[in-house]
Amino acid sequence: MPDIFDKQKRSDIMKKVRSKGNKSTELKLIEMLRAMQITGWNRNYPVKGHPDFVFLSKRIAIFVDGCFWHGHDCRNTSPKQNEDYWNRKRERNIIHDKEITELFSGRGWTVIRIWECELQKKNKEILLLKLSPLLQNNI
C-alpha cells in the first residue's frame, strides 16, 4: 500500500515518534534478577545512553536491546517496504550502541548488553553467562 504522505511529511511524523521503553523485556529481566536474588538496581537512571538498569555501587550498566532495532539477526526478519530506510536505522542504532558502550567502559563501568531473545527460557544459559558479573560480585 502506498504511503499517503510525501517523503518529507513522513520523515517529520517519524521524527516525533519516541520510544516509550521496552517495558515487557525489562519486566522479564526483573523477574529473572529476582529469581536469582540479584538486587540493588536502579531503573530510569538519568545518564547519557539510558541504560535499562544500573548497579551504581558496582558500576554495572545493563542494556536490554530489541533484536530487530539493534541489529541482532536471530529472527532473520527484514521489512520489504523501505528496506534501505530500516537498514540505515539499524546501522545507526548499532553505531550508537557501540559509542555508548565505549563511553561507559571508558569511565570504568562494566556494560552488559542483553538481546531480547536471550530472555527466552531456551536461552537461559546465555543470559546466566552474561549476568555472571552480577553473580560474582554478590550484589
Between the two ends of the chain, the Cα-to-Cα distance in Å is: 52
CB 100 within 8 A of CB 49: yes
Q: pLDDT tens across 86-120, in order?
A: 889 999 999 999 999 999 999 999 999 999 999 99
Which pTM does this prediction carry? Answer: 0.79
Q: Measured over all CA atoms, what is the biggest interatomic distance in the chain, rounded to whole angstroms?
A: 55
Instruction: Provide CB contacts within 8 A for 66, sequence distance 6+.
Output: 22, 25, 116
Q: Could you give the 3-state DSSP secondary structure of residue 53? A: strand
Residue whose cell numbers read 541489529: 71
Set out the domains of the chain in order of their start, with CATH numbers: 21-136 (3.40.960.10)
Averaged pLDDT for residues 31-56: 91
